[in-house]
Amino acid sequence: MIYEANSSLVRAQNVIQELREISSSFERVVVAFSGGMDSTVALFLSLQALGREKVTSCTVDWDIYFPSLARENVDYWVNNLEVNHVYLPGRKVMEEIMKSGPSCNRCTKEAKLGTIRRYFGDKVLIVGGANQSDSWGKRGVKLLNNTYSPLFDFSKEEIKNLASFFSLPLRRIGENKLREGCLLKHLLKPLISPYHSQAVVKSNESLLKILNEKKMERDIANVKIIGPLNRNIALVNVKPLPSLALREEITAILSSIKEIDEISWVDSPITLVVRANLGQYRNSSSLYWLEEGRLQPEFAFPITIRWMPSSNRRLHTFQVVDFKKESINYDQCRYQESFSSIL
């Protein structure tokens, strides 16, 4: 414990010193703040390095896609740390990106950082919470133009140790013990109409609400919306798996959502049938990170992916079109006949 404390202190001091050096050529620092653990630690260290006079926290507001508990977390930390804070609208930009398929990295760059940059200009240093637990931290760079990730070299566990060292209470939404974010990331197909957006928002807010009411501890809790564009299939992920009685209660609640056509619990290993943009389909590294970094960490049981190329030029990323729990015959997928028409 003493070693961990000393190590955390040394690393924090290094980050603080680096923040001072890098920010010296900018008018002020703007921390892209989501209320999660990573951005909270980044904000705290920025304040320690520069003081409140030179630091502003900024939250891009996803509107209906911003979990209600996440908004509460943002407001809690803004008041607790007494930092200047700005909310900026980001829903329209996010929805435009999602028309082409799920893309968290593009959303981070364009909808989140892009919105902040357009508002504050290029004379500020934008500080984010990217680290080794996400693809930006794995494949990006620590400092790019006026965007800086002070936790870039840290693992999730190391960030957690820093939070503990500085007595920063972890305030989780309850959807994932490693990384939590907007609700739209659970839509695993293009966002074409309110039929898709309402399905993912209503189902995930309902799931989190009942699990919180039951005070059920969990590592994962989400509802993935997959399927053809004309059919919303809800894959319910909760780890550990709730009791049968609670599952039935949750299923009944989700069944009342008119935008959901089918509900299935992920209660065993599952195979996902995924159509991918040709560029991604031909890039083994991209497929690996989609499977291991983007999808698997948010499923309650191991997944296997059956990748299929898409001829749809409007699909820039991927779409999960079907699933199978048992040994799968890809010539007899339930929605095989609709693949060519939707993609």
Answer yes or no: do 191 and 113 share one domain: no
Domain end residue (candidates: 165, 200, 233): 165
Total domain count, the chain = 2
Q: How confident is the model at residue 328 (pLDDT cuts 50, 70, 90)?
A: very low
Answer yes or no: do 192 and 119 share one domain: no
Q: Is residue 194 part of a domain?
A: yes
What is the predicted pLDDT for the residue at 288? 94
Supply the range of the domain harboring residue 56. 2-165
What is the predicted pLDDT for the residue at 285? 92
What is the predicted pLDDT for the residue at 341? 38
Answer yes or no: do 40 and 161 share one domain: yes
What is the predicted pLDDT for the residue at 33? 95
Answer yes or no: do 66 and 112 share one domain: yes
Mean pLDDT across 60-82? 93
283: CATH: 3.30.300
Mean pLDDT across 103-114? 91
Q: Is 9 helix (H, G, I), strand (E, B) or coil?
A: helix
Q: Are 230 and 262 in contact (CB under 8 A)?
A: no
Cα dist from 126 to 112, 115, 279, whole Å? 11, 11, 30
120: CATH: 3.40.50.620
Look up residue 259 and give its two tokens.
Answer: 């935008």
Answer yes or no: do 10 and 71 share one domain: yes
pTM above 0.85, yes or no: yes
DSSP string for 139-191: HS-SEETTEE-TTTT--HHHHHHHHHHTT------SSBSS----GGGGB-S--
Answer yes or no: do 217 and 316 share one domain: yes
Mean pLDDT across 60-81? 93
Q: What is the mean pLDDT of the chain?
A: 90
135: pLDDT strictly greater than 70: no
Look up residue 65 and give its two tokens.
Answer: 């896609």
Answer yes or no: do 155 and 8 share one domain: yes
If one counts every other C-beta atom within 10 angstroms of the C-beta of residue 268, the result is 11
- The 8 Å CB, 24+ separation contacts for 3-8 are 4/161, 4/165, 5/165, 7/161, 8/158, 8/161, 8/162, 8/164, 8/165
Answer yes or no: do 235 and 101 share one domain: no
57: pLDDT strictly greater than 60: yes
Q: How confident is the model at residue 69 (pLDDT cuts 50, 70, 90)?
A: confident
Q: Is 90 helix (H, G, I), strand (E, B) or coil?
A: coil
